[in-house]
Chains A and B, each alone.
Chain A
């Protein structure tokens, strides 16, 4: 059964993507990622000398700072920071720069649904722009299950009710991160994974095509 979506999209259709990198002057790497009205700006500083709290003598440590558009950082933002940190740690090669800390600052410009996948995509693009050694790229997608049991991709804020966010890597199509809200059946979950994996493949092609071209390349005043 087809579900009518308010903006006229089909269930499998993503919102328009916009991506640019090297947009911040001071950051060592930066990227902006927008899906429809949702937009996230990510900046990467480092690797730089680790502080006493974050320093690890064998691996580089990654610090994620989440900046919401309005208000203070709450529990939801702390959870997003933790999820993002774990995801980025799994794709970075951390043994090359021991005793260092890499800071990733994620600024939410606008939130119209599917915020965490947008942040994951922006952070990965910023890491690539900063030249941090990575094992592979990671892309993220958001699926939603409607009341009538239909699965839609890339929901807007109005459509977000029971959502599933999948972060996967294009090489092995593995799942690095999966976050769910609400309740859904096992079959719905597996269908969401299938749809998410297919959408991540097209997202990965988009990222791969754009990653070589830099919009501007300005010198850094940091460090």
Chain B
């Protein structure tokens, strides 16, 4: 029985799945605990797919669907790039490309007090952490990590921000370092911030370098690792 249930989900792991596909039948499993990630849902005894993508499995019992889309779905503990769209007495309203605007409390900064509220112009780009993302509520953000330190969060000045898909931002943040960033880092000096909501910020000493890095990242979406390195090398040859 366990062998059969094992073989049933093994067939679909790392395969492309469509909405409506049943990936697991709970009535055939015996006392197993499974964790469902994004893109899956439970419908009575069946675990079915909600979004088209690739089904992934992580030992011992985590399942999720890896997909790439332009719209961001807020989850807790994500690091995202937000744009300040309004300022209220208690909160900044921040656009993180989600269904609703997010709230950034004025006290959610390192050393933040009532007398020390930071000033953000409308349109400021900030690197924030999502701390609450419940359905039906506006997400809540913070500019500190879990221990209260500012770490890498805060406003990003200068530079250039462009948008990509959520799949590509996950690729840029993956470890080991993704090939396009690795190849660029060998030749150029730049600073980069990647948000899981599909926004990327790049800054360098000269606008020329910033544009090269941004174009290389934008072009690398559909390329494999080796192709990314080749593309970066050609790009760098062209500009020298």
Contacts and interface: CB of A to CB of B under 8 A. Distances in A.
Range of interface residues on A (Cβ < 8 Å): 35 or more
Contacts of B165: 217, 219
B67 interface: yes
B18 A219 contact: no
B192 interface: no
> Which of A98, A130, A131 has most chain B Cβ within 10 Å?
A131
B221 interface: yes
Nearest to A93: B50
Interface in A176-223: 207-208, 211-212, 214, 216-217, 219-223
Contacts of A39: none
A93 B135 CA distance: 13
A211 B68 contact: no
Given A134-B50, A212-B16, A47 B136 contact: no
B70 A97 contact: no
A126 B68 CA distance: 13
B20 A170 contact: yes
B163 A221 contact: yes
A133 B42 CA distance: 13
Nearest to B95: A223
Given A49-B101, A133-B41, A98 B163 contact: no
Given A29-B69, A133-B39, A217-B222, 20 more contacts: A28-B70, A29-B70, A46-B71, A49-B101, A91-B19, A99-B100, A100-B99, A128-B18, A134-B20, A135-B20, A135-B50, A137-B19, A170-B20, A211-B18, A214-B68, A217-B165, A219-B162, A219-B218, A222-B70, A223-B71
19 contacts: A29-B69, A46-B71, A49-B99, A93-B50, A98-B136, A99-B99, A128-B52, A129-B69, A133-B19, A133-B51, A134-B20, A169-B20, A170-B20, A207-B18, A211-B16, A216-B222, A219-B164, A219-B198, A221-B163
